[in-house]
Structure 1
Amino acid sequence: MNILLNNRIISRESFTVDLEDRGFQFGDGIYEVIRIYDGFFFEWEAHLERLVRSAKELMLPLPTAIHTLYQNLQLLMKDSKITNGTVYIQVTRGAAPRFHAFPKETEPTLVAYVREMQRPLEQMRNGIKTITTEDIRWLRVDIKSLNLLGNVLAKQKAVEQGGAEAILIRDGIVTEGSSSNLFAIKGKQCFTHPANHLILNGITRQVVLRLLNNSELTLHETSFTLDELLEMDEVFITNTGQEVCPVIQIDDSVIGKGTPGVYTRQLQSAFEALLGAVIPS
């Protein structure tokens, strides 16, 4: 497998990480994951806009212009011969003698690679079981940074308890999943946490917000408690890999009838229709 290193495509075997790279030592960097459907980067503009925003928030210069990066990603995808999967992009501040403050002179490092990924149709069709856990992450999770240890610990807890996702609770308020955004429906009211510093404003989340504008549901971007969540008729998560995925159980509580709800199904269908509209045939 080949990778993109700044502006060059090289073999993975020839790539090495500098011992003093700040991404390696401090998590001083950012990333994006873009879904590839039939050779098409889905919502790539939004992903790259968020990459720029994350870089700006961390005062991290990008090593290449965004239009050049997009062209390089196209070349990387063609080189990989993968038409359904993801492309992972990571930018670190680069290598410099270890010191907490930003180095005065260093060159950022951009790495990207493509891997195959099929759609998780069984989870999307049948729904998933989840657990809840305390949201112990830092207070700027709106930045898509490399600091993911809190997410990792939450996901591991879910796996150990037989769940597919961990729903995070901060000070009694439901924020999001360890690697997803969360939506909940009661009657014809749809609720999701507002896009502030306590959640990552997911790209699939943004797509679903647009789809909700054309649905019967009334959207409320507002906070809600775990007790309120457990009383919802439907719950679903969104992210790049799982798209719109129903949640049928949270801890020991069954959501609704324990099957994917009507409105969740409608949003899945609307998402499918959107894919059909934007992906070249």
Structure 2
Amino acid sequence: MSRIVYVNGQYLPESEATISIFDRGFLMADGVYEVTSVLDGKLLDFAGHSVRLARSLKELDIATPCSDEELLAIHRELVTRNEVVDGMIYLQVTRGNPGDRDFAFPGADVKPTLVMFTQSKPGMADSPQAKTGIKVISIEDIRWGRRDIKTVQLLYPSMGKMMAKKAGADDAWMVEDGHVTEGTSNNAYIVKNGRIITRQLSHDILHGITRAAVLRFAAEAQMEVEERPFTIDEAKAADEAFFTSASAFVMPVVEIDEAAIGTGKPGPVATRLREIYLEESRKTAI
């Protein structure tokens, strides 16, 4: 059964969905995106994703394609039309189609392109990897300086995923000036003596929506959190490690650069945070 996708005001079978070859998202990676998780047919933290989308658009001076209310209605319509129970909704906004290729931004009369589609992931809350943990490698972080903007410039993160796969691992943590920035598509954490350590917000990392929720839940559970950079050596010597993302929630990391972290199995802090996140997020899903 073909998915129904959304392209600039139309709901279409994916086989009929097209955008112009002159769209700046295609030619210049001139666009931003968001991924909102769906559990039990409901959207997780939609408001947070909407706020971050608005910030990304503002930082790049891209026009807002529609209101938050319209955006929510589109999300819900796609969930309904595609009968998504568990999965994700991918949203991409580009600067649009100026009519020809040009490095200069087009004028205000060019409307942004809005594309959205669903991905069904049955049982994503019960991921087997969450029970076994994943392995990561470390790689140099050579991305541009504004990682806080969720752009579609994903070539290097994709290359990082492939480097990890080639090394027999699941993902890569990127390192700059001796310290971990983040994973290829997630925020990174270690746990030492019960204290959760993760890099502070700045232009160096994405301001994760799941990150914000998890740190809030950790504080409510009276867990100690320290926001600062950490090194790969610190990660190897940690009691636990994990990452957070909209699609993986809280995912334990049990090995980095072939060195076991802690016991080499998912630890109690990451396991408990995943339980809390799923429980609390389901309560507020819409």
TM-score if structure 1 supplies the norm length? 0.96
SS at match of 2:27: helix
Change (3 A) 1:276 1:30: closer
* Residue type at the aligned position of 2:42: F
* Residue type at the aligned position of 1:255: I
Matched, 1:3 2:5: yes
* Residue type at the aligned position of 2:158: V
Q: Hey, what's the Cα distance between the residues in 1 that align with 2:140 and 2:38?
A: 33
Moved more, 137-146 or 6-15: 6-15
Q: Hey, what's the Cα distance between the residues in 1 that align with 2:115 and 2:270?
A: 36
**1:100 corresponds to:** 103
Does the CA contact (< 8 Å) of 1:7 and 1:64 recur in 2? no
Following superposition, the deviation at residue 216 of structure 1 comes to 4.1
Q: Hey, what's the Cα distance between the residues in 2 that align with 1:34 and 1:86?
A: 6
Following superposition, the deviation at residue 13 of structure 1 comes to 2.4
Does the CA contact (< 8 Å) of 2:174 and 2:182 recur in 1? yes
Q: Hey, what's the Cα distance between the residues in 2 that align with 1:115 and 1:218?
A: 35
Matched, 1:146 2:152: yes
| RMSD over equivalenced CA pairs, Å | 1.3
**Deviations 1:155-187 (CA, angstroms, capped at 9, x unpaired):** 110111111110110111111100111111100
**1:218 corresponds to:** 224
Structural mapping, 1:60-75, within 5 Å: 60-75=62-77
Matched, 1:76 2:78: yes
Following superposition, the deviation at residue 188 of structure 1 comes to 2.1
SS at match of 1:270: helix
**2:121 corresponds to:** 117
* Residue type at the aligned position of 1:208: V
Matched, 1:136 2:142: yes
Following superposition, the deviation at residue 101 of structure 1 comes to 1.4
Does the CA contact (< 8 Å) of 1:188 and 1:216 recur in 2? no
SS at match of 1:213: helix
Q: Hey, what's the Cα distance between the residues in 1 that align with 2:281 and 2:222?
A: 21
**1:192 corresponds to:** 198
Q: Hey, what's the Cα distance between the residues in 2 that align with 1:143 and 1:213?
A: 26
Please, which of 241, 250, 257 is the counterpart of residue 256 of structure 2? Answer: 250
* Residue type at the aligned position of 2:274: Q
Q: Hey, what's the Cα distance between the residues in 1 that align with 2:41 and 2:192?
A: 37
Q: Hey, what's the Cα distance between the residues in 1 that align with 2:21 and 2:6?
A: 20
Identity of aligned residues (%): 35
SS at match of 2:220: coil
Q: Hey, what's the Cα distance between the residues in 2 that align with 1:276 and 1:14?
A: 34
Following superposition, the deviation at residue 223 of structure 1 comes to 1.0
Matched, 1:174 2:180: yes
**1:160 corresponds to:** 166
SS at match of 2:22: coil
* Residue type at the aligned position of 2:50: L
Does the CA contact (< 8 Å) of 2:23 and 2:95 recur in 1? yes
* Structure 2 unaligned residues grouped into runs of 5+: none
Does the CA contact (< 8 Å) of 1:6 and 1:64 recur in 2? no
Q: Hey, what's the Cα distance between the residues in 2 that align with 1:204 and 1:117?
A: 18
Structural mapping, 1:15-30, within 5 Å: 15-30=17-32
TM-score if structure 2 supplies the norm length? 0.94
Following superposition, the deviation at residue 276 of structure 1 comes to 4.3
Q: Hey, what's the Cα distance between the residues in 2 that align with 1:161 and 1:58?
A: 36
* Residue type at the aligned position of 1:206: A
Change (3 A) 1:44 1:279: closer
SS at match of 2:182: strand
Please, which of 4, 7, 31 is the counterpart of residue 33 of structure 2? Answer: 31
**2:56 corresponds to:** 54
Q: Hey, what's the Cα distance between the residues in 2 that align with 1:41 and 1:110?
A: 19
Q: Hey, what's the Cα distance between the residues in 1 that align with 2:236 and 2:6?
A: 44
Change (3 A) 1:16 1:273: closer
